[in-house]
């Protein structure tokens, strides 16, 4: 009995295979060109792999959040533009300076949202390629809860 190996306290989780790391990386990176479709396809095809499913679900949730924020952003933009046009129609003058300044501000906000998405996809794609269970700040906990996995891939 002197040869007995102690059993670790937590559940044993195998490190992800090369194929799993590649698919998890693709789930993050392909969202830049495939929007929500690419992470969804990867999630549905490799749902049996906790590592791939976790990363694909995070990318999918990020795309859903991005689309929701984009829709709110566009509704706000249209509301401001129509309000300014209606105010201008009543005064019969030149376009107000607020209208000329609003479009670039909304455009900068849209570009800023895209840059955040780009950086997140690249950073978390690299982490997934390294085999890390890196999670997005809010969406990672949500993905873990939905997939019922703990930190490091262990079951809850």
What are the average pLDDT values for consecutive 10-residue runs of the chain, which has 156 residues?
Answer: 43 73 90 89 87 90 92 88 74 67 84 92 92 85 81 66
Residue 73's pLDDT is: 87
Residue 4's pLDDT is: 46
52 in a domain, yes or no? yes
- 60 to 56, 107, 149: CA distances (angstroms): 6, 24, 17
Residue 152's pLDDT is: 65
- Alpha carbon distance 81, 143 (integer Å): 37
**Helix or strand (DSSP H, E) at 20:** helix 18-29
- 149 to 7, 26, 110, 141: CA distances (angstroms): 21, 21, 34, 10
- Alpha carbon distance 17, 76 (integer Å): 45
Residue 1's pLDDT is: 44
Residue 146's pLDDT is: 85
Residue 7's pLDDT is: 37
Q: Give the 3-state secondary structure of residue 1.
A: coil
1 in a domain, yes or no? no
97 in a domain, yes or no? yes
Number of domains in the chain: 1
- Alpha carbon distance 83, 118 (integer Å): 32
Residue 91's pLDDT is: 63
3 in a domain, yes or no? no
51 in a domain, yes or no? yes
41 in a domain, yes or no? yes
């Amino acid at each position: 009995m002197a040869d007995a190996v102690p059993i670790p306290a937590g559940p044993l989780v195998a490190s992800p295979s090369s194929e799993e790391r590649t698919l998890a990386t693709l789930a993050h990176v392909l969202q830049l060109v495939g929007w929500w479709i690419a992470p969804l396809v990867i999630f549905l095809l490799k749902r049996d792999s906790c590592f791939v499913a976790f990363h694909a679900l995070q990318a999918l949730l990020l795309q859903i959040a991005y689309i929701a924020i984009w829709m709110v952003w566009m509704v706000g933009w249209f509301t401001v533009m129509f309000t300014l046009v209606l105010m201008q129609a009543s005064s019969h003058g030149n376009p107000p300076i607020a209208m000329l300044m609003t479009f670039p501000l909304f455009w900068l906000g849209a570009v800023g949202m895209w840059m955040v998405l780009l950086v997140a996809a690249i950073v978390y794609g690299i982490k997934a390629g390294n085999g890390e269970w890196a999670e997005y700040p809010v969406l990672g906990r949500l993905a873990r809860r939905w997939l019922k996995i703990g930190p490091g891939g262990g079951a809850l």
